[in-house]
Amino acid sequence: MDRDRALNTIVDRKVPWDIVIIGGGATGLGMAVDAASRGYEVVLFEQADFAKGTSSRSTKLVHGGVRYLEQGNVSLVMEALAERGRLLQNAPHLVNDLAFIVPSYEWWESPFYGVGLKVYDLLAGKYGFGRSRHLSRQKVIDEIPSIRTEGLRGGTRYFDGQFDDARLAINLARTATEHGAMVVNYTVVTALVKDANGVAQGVRLRDVETGTDVEVHGKVIVNATGPQADAIRRMDQPAATAVIAPSQGVHIVLDRSFIPGPSAIMVPHTEDGRVMFAIPWRDVAVVGTTDTPVDEVSPEPRPSHHEIDFILATANRYLARPAAKHHIKSVFAGVRPLVKLERSANTAALSRDHAILIDPHSAMMTVVGGKWTTYRKMAEDAVDQACILAELPKVPCSTATLRIHGYCDHADALGRLAFYGSDAAGVRALMEDNTEWAQAIHADLATTGAEVVWACRHEMARTIDDVLARRSRSLLYDARAASEAAEKVGMLMAEELGRDSVWVADQVESFRELAAGYMVV
Ligand SMILES: Cc1cc2nc3c(=O)[nH]c(=O)nc-3n(C[C@H](O)[C@H](O)[C@H](O)COP(=O)(O)OP(=O)(O)OC[C@H]3O[C@@H](n4cnc5c(N)ncnc54)[C@H](O)[C@@H]3O)c2cc1C
């Protein structure tokens, strides 16, 4: 993952790429892995950092979606459960199973949810993560010691998956690169290039770091820009009607003491008809999410006070010690790229299925919707279509069993570096090389200098935000500590990337401004 080398190759290339992908989130990166592993020549442009958009802001669940069962969408649930199993097989360093408990305070809740979750078990079949069962009141308290016990009758436990979304994105970028794809961050597509018949045959892009404009040609152009997909479609057809119904989801991050046990809480029905989770994630607890339709898609969506109050109020119905604003270590928002199939005021009711649209004039392909869990299947379907459009020789998809970069089947033994998988040895070697790099970047963060150096050398990190938000996740663990660590991280990065003190000062200032948006008080 050498950005300069990739850009030089792209500029020097005289023949069209097989596939040009716009957008480096779950959808675009999944396609890059799929296409490159079939042997196609593929290039991907991401306007910011990989997973800077929705793909680093999810609830971090690899799940069938218990809720979609209730909506009667059995095929979507079955497909997602199979993908959940495949992702655990192919990236065991990034995925783990997790017990979820639906607590019951009413007599009917346990039998009602118990039956639904048995169906969920059955649909998972051979991909099952464990069988659901009824738990006594005491067992629920053992699993979730922080639960409100007043009126508690018991609960139902089921199993689903948990993963690190941004780390998976980085590992997909590395997997794609290893199979020959060119994936480049900080390259924004500014226009489509068309032939005399109006058929899309390339893109114009700007290297955000140098301001240089480049024209790149491809046999098929794929728009994988998630919530921004309509903006790209309008570059193609200015009058295109919107297909995206953007919906904002917010999570708050609390100290792990709020969910100290091994199990998560799942609330099947909040007041606004959503599912809410309170999940143990490494050293913190993540609670969310909301579902609020929004008109504009910002690259840094901000949570409203109303959303934060709603999450706290819902969580506090289930927690013995109430969480307050001053307990929030970080708050993050993301925008779901839901596909508009019908007019509906309630975005929670819109389909989580994916859609592939092909413009009849330009032949540009747009791939939208879906969810992280099903990114691989979505990529397979999209590359199959892209091959037809680009008239590429048919090669079968192999990603169902393709190991993702970092694959390691004993990652648990790697302790805090587990999510690096097979790269953990390289990170450790850096710590041994330089005692300063073995130190944590901040007293309240476990991330070390070695991880900053590793991110610059091997993971195409270009800004402090790339390191603190998506390579190390420090911004999500503790926004204040991340803000305080910015200068140290900037200096380590400057040395690796050959930047000066003005760059460090600019970077620190813009990161601190960004981090302020993740703090509540
Ligand atoms: C709150 C929330 C919780 C969720 N939780 C889960 C969950 O637990 N499990 C699950 O499976 N799914 C979950 N999802 C869904 C999942 O996160 C998304 O479906 C998925 O991340 C969408 O990926 P994407 O690549 O389509 O979009 P994005 O991740 O937004 O990627 C699109 C990319 O395109 C880039 N781009 C835009 N315009 C341009 C341009 N002109 N040039 C170059 N690049 C451009 C953007 O910068 C962006 O990085 C959740 C979503 C939300 C919002």
Q: Across the strands, what pairs with 20?
A: 43, 221
Query: Is the minimum distance from the CB of 206 to ligand 1 under 6 angstroms?
Result: no
445/485 Cα distance (integer angstroms): 9
Q: What is the pLDDT of residue 344?
A: 44
Give the Å distance between the CA of 386 and the centre of ligand 1: 20
345, with CB counted inside 10 A (0-12, 13-18, 19+), is exposed
CA atoms of 368 and 229, how far apart (whole Å): 7
CB of 307 shorter than 6 A to ligand 1 = no
Q: Which atom of ligand 1 is closest in space to residue 55's alpha carbon?
A: 21
Planar angle of CA 481, 418, 484, nearest 5 degrees:
10
pTM of the model: 0.96
Q: Is the CB of 373 under 6 A from ligand 1?
A: yes
For ligand 1, the distance from its centroid to the CA atom of residue 54, given in whole angstroms, is 3
Q: Which atom of ligand 1 is nearest to the CA of 336?
A: 53
Residue 489, number of CB atoms within 10 A of its CB: 30
Report the alpha-carbon angle 378-7-453, nearest 5: 85
Q: Is the minimum distance from the CB of 249 to ligand 1 under 6 angstroms?
A: yes
Q: Which of 44, 58, 253 to mutate to test the pocket of ligand 1 (most atoms within 8 A of CB)?
A: 58
Residuewise pLDDT in 10s, the chain (521 residues): 999 999 999 999 999 999 999 999 999 999 999 999 999 999 999 999 999 999 999 999 999 877 777 777 788 888 899 999 999 999 999 999 999 999 999 877 777 778 888 888 888 888 888 888 999 999 999 999 999 999 999 999 999 999 999 999 999 999 999 999 999 999 999 999 999 999 999 999 999 999 999 999 999 999 999 999 999 999 989 999 899 999 999 999 999 999 999 999 999 888 878 889 999 999 999 999 888 889 888 889 999 999 999 999 999 999 999 999 999 999 999 999 888 865 444 444 455 578 899 999 999 999 999 999 999 999 999 999 999 999 999 999 999 999 999 999 899 899 999 999 999 999 999 999 999 999 999 999 999 999 999 999 999 999 999 999 999 999 999 999 999 999 999 999 999 999 999 999 999 999 999 999 999 98
Predicted pLDDT of residue 345: 43
Instruction: Give burial (CB, 10 Å; 0-12/13-18/19+) of 299.
Output: exposed
With the most atoms of ligand 1 within 8 angstroms of its CB, the residue from 223, 228, 376 to mutate is: 228
CA distances from 511 to 221, 354, 391, 480, 482 (A): 33, 34, 45, 11, 9
Place of tokens 């803000």: 483
Per-residue three-class SS string for 297-340 = CCCCCCCCHHHHHHHHHHHHCCECCCCCHHHCCEEEEEEEEEEC
| 106: region left, alpha or beta (phi > 0 left; psi from -120 to 50 alpha) | beta
Q: Is the CB of 26 under 6 A from ligand 1?
A: yes
Q: What is the best residue among 55, 162, 332 to mutate for testing ligand 1's pocket, by most ligand atoms within 8 Å of CB?
A: 55
- Give the C-alpha separation, 335 to 292, whole Å: 9
Residue 159 Cα to ligand 1 midpoint, Å, equals 25
Distance from C-alpha of 509 to C-alpha of 464, rounded to nearest angstrom: 10
Per-residue tokens: 443: 């007293």
User: Does the Cβ of 46 fall within 6 Å of ligand 1?
Assistant: yes
Calculate the CA dihedral of residues 491, 496, 498, 499 and round it to 10 degrees: -30
Closest Cα to atom 26 of ligand 1: 226
Ligand 1 pocket check for 23: Cβ under 6 Å: yes
336 CB less than 6 Å from ligand 1? yes
Regarding the beta carbon of 339 and ligand 1, being less than 6 Å apart is answered no
CA of 57 from ligand 1 middle (Å) equals 8
d(CA 80, CA 34) in angstroms, rounded, equals 18
Question: What span, in angstroms and rounded, lies between the C-alpha atoms of 244 and 347?
Answer: 11
Any ligand 1 atom below 6 A from CB of 47: yes
Which atom of ligand 1 lies closest to the CA of 27? 25
